[in-house]
Amino acid sequence: CFFLSRGTLPPCSLVCVAPSVLFLFLLVVTHTVFAQNSSSRQKEIVRVIDTLIEAGLKRDVQAIDHVYSKDFRHVNPNGSVMTKQQVLDIYKAPPTAKIDSNTHEVETVQTFGSIWVVTDRAIIKGTAGNKAFENQYRVTYVLRRSARRWLIVASHASLIL
């Protein structure tokens, strides 16, 4: 309002202040809506990871196939890289170990535009042969939104020593 620059307040000073108040209100509302959408998206993303973990425990190849993108790649702790088909083939084959539990603790969920990155700690307990094991891994998942759903496009696991 140009009257403010001359040091006098016009009778409409309330109207002159209103746009700045409106701007602040819209800023707060927009931030709140973004935070709610972000929180909602984070829950969607974590649900995809939970679906993958549950499908892996059940060796549900169809469900695993559904959450991986066509061009999915996984980097194993030893540095080897597996395609989606190679991962699915492992789940189609008889298991070499019995997994008793696969607990994941989500540590971070970050967004980079349309790409989301989840970092978690996995604790896998089971038996191989007659020998019990418990291994911990740091796992990173990269997801992107397809036309209809979130897909995991890449993952990497490192053994925690």
Q: What is the pLDDT of residues 69-106, one digit of tens each?
A: 999 999 999 999 999 999 999 999 999 999 999 999 99
> How many angstroms separate the first and last alpha carbons of the chain?
64
What type of residue sits at position 77? P
Check residue 95 and report its DSSP letter: P
Q: What is the pLDDT of residues 27-61, one digit of tens each?
A: 333 333 334 457 888 999 999 999 999 999 999 99
Rounded CA separation 87/72 (Å): 9
Rounded CA separation 37/39 (Å): 5
Share of the chain above pLDDT 70, in %: 76
The confidence score (pLDDT) of residue 106 equals: 93
DSSP 20-49: HHHHHHHHHHHHHHHHHHHHHHHHHHHHHH
The confidence score (pLDDT) of residue 42 equals: 92
More confident residue, 130 or 25: 130
Top-confidence range, 18-22, 26-30, 66-70: 66-70
Nearest to 56 by CA among 106, 90, 80: 90
The confidence score (pLDDT) of residue 39 equals: 84
**pTM for this one?**
0.75
Q: What is the pLDDT of residues 108-149, one digit of tens each?
A: 999 998 899 999 999 999 999 999 999 999 999 999 998 889
φ and ψ at residue 60, rounded to 5 degrees: -85, 90
